[in-house]
Amino acid sequence: MSQQLATDLAAHLSASGNLPAPWHEHYTVVPRHHFIPDVAWVVPDVTGAEPYPIDRNEDAVGWLRAVYSDASIVTQLDAGTGDLRTGKGTPTSSCSAPGIVFPMLQALDLLDGHKVLEIGTGSGWTAALLSARLGSQYVTSIEVDADVAARAAEAIARTEYTPHLVTADGADSFTPNAPYDRVHATCAVERVPHAWIRDTRPGGAIVAPWSPTYGHGLLARLVVTHNGHAIGRFERTASFMMLRSQQRAFGWTPHDAEGATSEPTTLDPRTIVNAPEGAALAIAAHVPGVTQTVITDPGGDVSLLLSEADAPEGAWAAVDYSAGQDAYTVTWWGQRNLWAQVSDAYLQWVTWGQPDRARFGITVTPEEQVLWLDHPGHRVTPYD
């Protein structure tokens, strides 16, 4: 049964363009079910689909069907203290959905003999896939969580591949096996660790989910230059859990409400809420550190709440939409008027001709990380 389910999933992924031909044979020889624990929490990669638990001992067929679906399978919650049967807690390790795994691997643009550093061994599936493609001797995979690393080592051993497995903080890279031709991150970062660039040879590539505080996560592909810089663009959306050392907890707290300022705006807040990826990148660049929370009422009212991601006592703003109004009330507090900055960034994006995601890029140096439009020299800098 597992073989037929695997074949069906391969056909689905191929039809959607998410299983590139060069990776089909490696998918076949590295069965995903070797890397999924008996009990896990399934997050389907389908809009509106509800997550659900699986237990191999209670429903072996259901477990196998979940394994061979295009779903992310959470294998750890709250660093091991959460209950996978309920799904309550923060995901801290998973086996990513196949529909993003193979496009990410394809983005590496691997050549025979390439040495790869994987950041985040997780379940071990991608480390085994990389080993199948390149040979185990060319693959180093690093995992910060000792329990996750141990389970991954057991799973990889069942496939008879022997990549170099390291238990350590992936943010620090793994210099003993450097230089690498490729760095493949299976966790998201807000700031690309410069250690990854340091340990990658010039012309080498880093493929990593990039997750600013504002907007959706995006898959970044950066190429390393001769001077310790890395320059790249964003390939597609990609939502991943954060690198452990960059994990964050956002919350909107309207503190100091008695000192807040109220003023009108004619800009419909839903325009900001529904802004495309290009606009979100402009906002992320111009207003770093801002995050948004959106509350939608069944009757159609919408509240856009803005706050400083890493400052619970920092600036905040709120603007509400209600049908039939010609103007909307903005309430804000702090050193920055976040609504003014976010709306200005959005309108600036409009004046540029509403460039889409593909026109934006990112440069990382030892000193800074900066977004740009069309060309690395056209920096999109933060507002004062």
Looking up tokens 């450097």, which residue turns up? 178
Nearest alpha-carbon partner for 96 in 124, 115, 116, 137: 124
Catalytically annotated residue among 94, 96, 307, 343: 96
**Rounded distance between C-alpha atoms, residue 353 and residue 341, angstroms:** 19
CA 193, 195, 196, 202 torsion-angle sign? positive
> Is the peptide bond preceding residue 269 cis, with omega within 30 degrees of 0?
no
**Rounded distance between C-alpha atoms, residue 242 and residue 312, angstroms:** 19
Listed in sequence order, the DSSP H helices in the chain are 2-15, 21-29, 60-67, 98-107, 125-134, 146-158, 194-198, 269-273, 277-286, 338-351
User: Does the annotation mark 96 as catalytic?
Assistant: yes
Nearest alpha-carbon partner for 368 in 210, 213, 180, 231: 231
**Rounded distance between C-alpha atoms, residue 86 and residue 306, angstroms:** 30
How far from each other are the two terminal CA atoms of the chain, in whole angstroms?
60
Looking up tokens 């020299």, which residue turns up? 377
CA dihedral 235, 8, 2, 85 (to 10 degrees): 60
What are the angstrom distances between the C-alpha of 13 and each of 2, 16, 49, 182, 284? 16, 5, 18, 24, 32
Contact (CB, 8 A) for 247 and 188: no
Contact (CB, 8 A) for 195 and 129: no
**Rounded distance between C-alpha atoms, residue 199 and residue 230, angstroms:** 12
DSSP-derived letter for residue 188 is: B
Say if strands 139-143 and 116-119 run parallel, antiparallel, or are unpaired: parallel
- Three-state secondary structure string covering 350-364: HHCCCCCHHHEEEEE
For the annotated catalytic residues, the residue numbers are 96
